[in-house]
Structure 1
Amino acid sequence: MNTLKNKVVLRGIFSAALIAGLGFSSFAQVQKDNWHNLDFKKDSVFGVSTEKAYLELLKGKKSTPVIVGVLDGGVDIKHEDLLSVIWVNKKEIAGNGKDDDKNGYIDDVNGWNFIGSAKGSVSHEALELTRVLRRDKARFEGVTAETVKPADKPAFEQYQKEQADFDKQTNEAKNAVANIGGLKIALDAMVKNMGKENPTLADFQNYKASSDMEGRLKNIMVSQLQNSTFEEFYKAQIVKGLDHYQDQLAYNLNLDFDPRAEFVGDNYADSKQRNYGNNDVTGPDASHGTHVSGIIAANRTNTIGIKGVADNVQIMGVRSVPDGDERDKDVANAIRYAVSNGAKVLNMSFGKAYSWDKNAVDEAVKYAMSKDVLIIQAAGNDNKNLDVEKSFPDRRYEGGGTAEAYIVVGASGSADDKTLKADFSNYGKTTVDVFAPGVKIYSTVPGSKYEAYNGTSMAAPVVAGVAALIREYYPKLTAVQVKDILMKSVVKVDHNVDIEGAEGETPKSVPFADICISGGIINAYNALKLAADYK
């Protein structure tokens, strides 16, 4: 689902049992804003030991700059903590309306936007499910199992699955809007009775509930405000929750919504078309891509904001992911653009359950492999086993074979216990390579601000940052060798973790080694030590 940004914030918060049980997930804050860069033995949080690596392994060493392509929804290139690390195309003269470097893109000074044109940029989009269902409806609407032609039967059965999936997601979104809307009304009434715009924990503790509903709401808020303010909770869970599901109905699951012709104007049927878009790498909403970029490379030497994982990286923003599902053509072109303009690591914090033109993406991935580029992709936030559930893009080519320099990343938490696997994270013994911190990761957001986000979208750039570090300090290593180092240097997890089941089910306890190929959490210190002696 697009950049994975909404589902992870809301997963487990607004279930079908919202009104009956009002079951909220924890909104607790992790103790340290920089926890993902800390060391488990020294700091008691399961970070990736970045700070230890700088202190003990990298001090005084020279590095070479590495370009990291952030294929995402946009990057705030003016953010105070990213200004010094934004890639600049030195062959292009800004604002002259010419393609100075003859790469096919006019004024691409900091990257490119493949979901825009001179008319503006795409903000919301449909899910790929919606798009393929719209396509297949034109072919099969009115056809039945009895009337379908034998040759069309497999495609017809796929169409039926698409329709069932679409109906399920639409009903869930409608129910969520009704439930969250009802909860918002009840909570707003409680707050009004208190006479305070932003009530405190004590205000809720002292509130005298006038009904069972208010009693349950009071208990929830007392629990939630142990580690959060009312304003933070209300914005993140109530407002964003309602906005998310309303947007799903208005855009993502709307069969009549298609902004492509208006804002892009390309020939979408031509997957080989390259030269479309505009140079607005920020776009209408750069929150997700800016957060990802900060995790990778926020300035480590200034005294403001946060510390990125890598210290000598240039962030190339390639906008290809809207609020909705990315399109295969745009992803393919984003990969090609980043690779052709010098990126050696690509971060792809997006994914979807359906694919329109997988071959186009496969060919672009093959191009990246041929140019010694390492691809890092987020595993997704649906708590699904990717060994049995399809997710796109992936490393497996449609015609056979796999991309060797390609890493799929799951999200982990800060505690070395049964909760180490983030409850939302996808997993897979043969499909997910490693896990990395992805819970309450504090990073940059537009407007020179900072927020904590959850998601495999946050775990992937931790790995991309470590990969970039290795390529900075050991530039002779190939992309395949860097992947090998990252896989071999994980901190192995030798205990079981919980995998959440369906609502009401008891979590399943499984060995960590059964949820990813490496059986561990990425570690910068171990990786850099191995890189120094790698043969």
Structure 2
Amino acid sequence: MKLKLAKKGIALFILVAVGYPPVTAIEHGSRPTEGTRVYAAFQTNDPDIIREGFLGRIRAYEAWDIVRQSTLQQEVIVAVLDTGVDVAHPDLASNIWRNIDEIPGDRIDNDGNSYIDDVNGWDFVDSAPDPRPKITGAYSFEAVHHGTVVAGLIGGVADNNFGIAGAAYRVSIMPLRVLDSTGSGNTIVLAQAIQYAVENGADVINLSLVGDVSDPRLVQSIDDAYARGVAVVAASGNQEHAGINLNDSPRYPVCEKSGVNHVIGVSAVDESNRLAPFANYGSDCIDIAAPGTNLYSTVWHRDRETGFEAYYSGGWSGTSAAAPLISATLAMMKKVAPQLGIADRYRALLSGTVSIASANSRPQDLGTGLVDSYQALTLAVGYTRENPLRVILAPGTGFEPFVVVKDKAGVTISQFLAYAPSFRGGVQTAVGDIDGDDENEIVTAPLSGGGPHVRIFDLQGRLKGQFMAYAPGFVGGLSLTVADLNGDGVSEIIVVPLVGGGPQVNIFNARGDLLGQFMAYASSFRGGVRLTSADLDADRKAEILTAPASRGGPHIRIFNAAGTVLGQFMAFDTTMRAGYALGVGDLDGVIGSEIIVVPEVDTGVQARIFDAHGTEKNRFPLFPEFNSIEEAMSLVVADYTGDGRPDIIAFPLRQGTDVKLFDYYGRVVEEVSLSNVDPATRAVRYTYSLTR
């Protein structure tokens, strides 16, 4: 099946083939009514902003103030999956996403993403790098303009003395053409475009389209987007005379559900906050409402082409015109609270709405109410403050086994004994939601001299569980990580012996039940193994990464939960014999995690960064002052600074020094003192874990 874009009153769907569920877009109506501008501290100089009365209704101006006052100004990208976008439009051009890793026009896939010359996006209809609308064949004016209308509502350039301003202040638009110039498309193409958006850095995906049949490929692509923290916004769809109840006749993707709500469903209201007469509704599918009648925006411009001479047009009505206002709000939330998880972003968006119950007989069918961009951003910032960074300090060798929980300022929140006070072998910690209560737990394991005793505490130090990971007689210490290996939202506990034990990795749940085991290296290897974990392939199931803890070659291996080797590579010269510290995270800001490896050798502490396939991407010295000392290293990859990107947090274990935070390029971005060094012996007191 496929769809047809049309004005209100025209049937939306045409059955043409089995297996291709359709998707459609919005319609063009009458000229707009001019709204009254609501002034805030920041006033743009865009002359046509007075035509955008909806900005005042959703409190966009006040939201812009929050964005402008924020020190977090990283790029936020909204993917517009539609009929194409006029990337040369003077009120859009400077906000169009630029793929900096692609060289335009050289017919080479420079960035290796399987799309040649995708400098500004991709045309999935014609499999071409130009994401603009096309009028070489059959077309409708509404369809050709539609993607540019949506892009302008989200990201029209603000404060440029020209035209309009989009609802999102300082945002990038990634144009992905998935509908042809009649408004037709299918879910195969749509799923491919969603995957492209996720893999190329989109933070929000706008789907101003709708169909009447679900498709597992589309569901999977949306689930993958959510798992990667990408917000997905979908219009509810429109009807000729009166909208339908989606509880009875669901449409997709707005009604896609996977147990957890991965799609923000949007319906439209008129200037009086009443359900727009054409808009679909329904409590099962609609999360929120936005203005969707008589909107003014950018359109596709082409000189000397009848019907396309204008830069702007009004009278745009439809739920697909409402959805971009939600995408814009989510984009600004990402900008001011980049470290906030996708579930909390959705929560802030839906909790910050304005009640429209008095204007509607069934307000429950319009979600939580009318979007309030200012309140959504305020809540997002507040949630970040309510969920502050916690630094977990685990004692090093020679110190009592006190685990200390501090805030970022170094103030102690809690502390507790992980083991008997007489134990001085050191403790390793890992943090994650082990029991599915939506709260992180602290998992501990001895470093050396203690039995294989794994213990689980809450953040206040209350013991929640414990078990022996190996035979009680083993006292060589354990390496430890926690990760969700099966995609159920609950982390498993992964352990492996350190020096003196074999390389058998064991996987447990919170009760201590053995879920799986495998050999990380040859069974005869006794140098110990170090662990870390991350979801490298975005399937919502973490992979396990291993490296020798001592006396081993630089052999990095990647496993799934079943112990299947998914990848492996040599991080340094194959003749090197050492232990290796491991970390993993999205260090370069491009979709996909990097692996950082640091050897413990006497020729200098050098870090090397690899992609998931083992291709080296960067290298730099961590602590050049210790270039002649064989140095063990504590290495954590986590967002300490709160800018939404992981930091490389490192310090030598045998040298008294403050903790240093490095970026992807090896630059020291911060030095942190948390009373880590014993003043008498200069011995390192703690290693670190971090959580929010």
TM-score category of the 2 structures, normalised to the smaller one: 0.5 to 0.7
> Normalized per residue, which structure has more helix?
1
- Which residue number corresponds to residue 529 of structure 1? 378
Aligned to 1:512, which of 349, 363, 368?
A: 363
Compute the displacement of 1:339 (Å): 0.5
Post-superposition CA distance 1:478-531 (Å, at most 9, x none): 22211111100000113143xxxxxxxxxxxx2323x2231x100111111211
Aligned to 1:316, which of 150, 174, 188?
A: 174
- Which residue number corresponds to residue 131 of structure 2? 281
Aligned to 2:69, which of 60, 69, 74?
A: 60
CA distance in 2, matches of 1:26, 1:468: 28
CA distance in 1, matches of 2:268, 2:381: 27
Compute the displacement of 1:532 (Å): 1.9
Aligned to 2:250, which of 385, 390, 394?
A: 390
Q: 3-state DSSP class of the match of 2:379?
A: helix
- Which residue number corresponds to residue 7 of structure 2? 7
Compute the displacement of 1:27 (Å): 4.4
- Which residue number corresponds to residue 159 of structure 2? 301
Aligned to 1:349, which of 182, 195, 208?
A: 208
Post-superposition CA distance 1:433-462 (Å, at most 9, x none): 110011111000011611121111110000
Whether 2:492 is the aligned partner of 1:474: answer: no
Whether 2:322 is the aligned partner of 1:459: answer: yes
What are the within-5 Å matches in structure 2 for residues 105-504 of structure 1? Answer: 105-116=115-126, 277-284=127-134, 286-322=144-180, 323-355=182-214, 358-382=215-239, 383-396=243-256, 401-416=258-273, 420-447=274-301, 449-452=311-314, 453-497=316-360
Which sections of structure 2, spanning at least 5 residues, go unmatched? 12-27, 36-50, 136-143, 302-309, 387-692
Which sections of structure 1, spanning at least 5 residues, go unmatched? 12-24, 39-46, 117-276, 498-509
CA distance in 1, matches of 2:114, 2:67: 39
Give the TM-score normalised by structure 1: 0.59
Post-superposition CA distance 1:375-395 (Å, at most 9, x none): 000110121111110212245
Post-superposition CA distance 1:453-475 (Å, at most 9, x none): 11111100000001001101111
CA distance in 2, matches of 1:516, 1:94: 44
Give the TM-score normalised by structure 2: 0.46
Q: CA separation of 1:3/1:466 partners in 2, compared to 1, >3 Å: closer, same or farther?
A: farther
CA contact (8 A) 1:64 1:473 kept: no
CA contact (8 A) 1:71 1:319 kept: yes
Q: 3-state DSSP class of the match of 1:491?
A: coil
Compute the displacement of 1:413 (Å): 1.4
Q: CA separation of 1:411/1:104 partners in 2, compared to 1, >3 Å: closer, same or farther?
A: same
CA distance in 2, matches of 1:2, 1:292: 21
Post-superposition CA distance 1:44-96 (Å, at most 9, x none): xxx101013334x4443332210111000100000010010000101000000
CA distance in 2, matches of 1:517, 1:4: 27
Compute the displacement of 1:402 (Å): 3.5
The code of the aligned residue for 1:380 comes to: G
- Which residue number corresponds to residue 60 of structure 2? 50
Post-superposition CA distance 1:295-343 (Å, at most 9, x none): 1011112011111111221111111112244211101100000100000
CA distance in 2, matches of 1:115, 1:530: 39
The code of the aligned residue for 2:53 comes to: W
Compute the displacement of 1:362 (Å): 1.1
- Which residue number corresponds to residue 16 of structure 1? none
CA contact (8 A) 1:9 1:454 kept: no
CA distance in 1, matches of 2:260, 2:232: 9
- Which residue number corresponds to residue 43 of structure 2? none
CA contact (8 A) 1:112 1:278 kept: yes
CA distance in 1, matches of 2:165, 2:78: 16
Identity of aligned residues (%): 32
RMSD (CA atoms): 2.2
Q: CA separation of 1:60/1:366 partners in 2, compared to 1, >3 Å: closer, same or farther?
A: closer
Using CA pairs under 8 Å that are at least 6 residues apart, name the structure with larger relative contact order, 1 or 2: 1
CA distance in 2, matches of 1:81, 1:466: 19
- Which residue number corresponds to residue 52 of structure 2? 34
CA distance in 1, matches of 2:187, 2:30: 35
Compute the displacement of 1:283 (Å): 2.8
Q: CA separation of 1:294/1:29 partners in 2, compared to 1, >3 Å: closer, same or farther?
A: closer
The code of the aligned residue for 1:517 comes to: G
CA contact (8 A) 1:373 1:405 kept: no
CA contact (8 A) 1:405 1:479 kept: no
CA distance in 1, matches of 2:299, 2:188: 27
Q: 3-state DSSP class of the match of 1:333?
A: helix
CA distance in 2, matches of 1:461, 1:310: 9
CA distance in 2, matches of 1:495, 1:97: 58
CA distance in 2, matches of 1:395, 1:28: 31
CA contact (8 A) 2:6 2:183 kept: no
Q: CA separation of 1:325/1:385 partners in 2, compared to 1, >3 Å: closer, same or farther?
A: farther
Q: CA separation of 1:426/1:460 partners in 2, compared to 1, >3 Å: closer, same or farther?
A: same
Q: 3-state DSSP class of the match of 1:422?
A: coil
CA distance in 2, matches of 1:281, 1:114: 8
Post-superposition CA distance 1:102-127 (Å, at most 9, x none): 110110001111111xxxxxxxxxxx
CA contact (8 A) 1:310 1:466 kept: yes
> Normalized per residue, which structure has more strand?
2
Q: CA separation of 1:314/1:280 partners in 2, compared to 1, >3 Å: closer, same or farther?
A: same
Q: 3-state DSSP class of the match of 2:357?
A: coil
CA contact (8 A) 1:381 1:424 kept: yes
CA contact (8 A) 1:4 1:351 kept: no
Compute the displacement of 1:424 (Å): 0.6
Compute the displacement of 1:26 (Å): 9.4
The code of the aligned residue for 1:391 comes to: R
Q: CA separation of 1:73/1:445 partners in 2, compared to 1, >3 Å: closer, same or farther?
A: same
Compute the displacement of 1:422 (Å): 0.8
CA distance in 2, matches of 1:528, 1:354: 34
Q: 3-state DSSP class of the match of 1:492?
A: coil
- Which residue number corresponds to residue 44 of structure 1? none
Q: 3-state DSSP class of the match of 1:411?
A: strand
The code of the aligned residue for 1:332 comes to: A
Compute the displacement of 1:5 (Å): 5.3
The code of the aligned residue for 2:313 comes to: E
Aligned to 1:72, which of 75, 82, 100?
A: 82
Q: CA separation of 1:361/1:108 partners in 2, compared to 1, >3 Å: closer, same or farther?
A: same
CA distance in 1, matches of 2:3, 2:153: 15
Post-superposition CA distance 1:352-373 (Å, at most 9, x none): 1235xx0111111121122111
The code of the aligned residue for 1:371 comes to: R
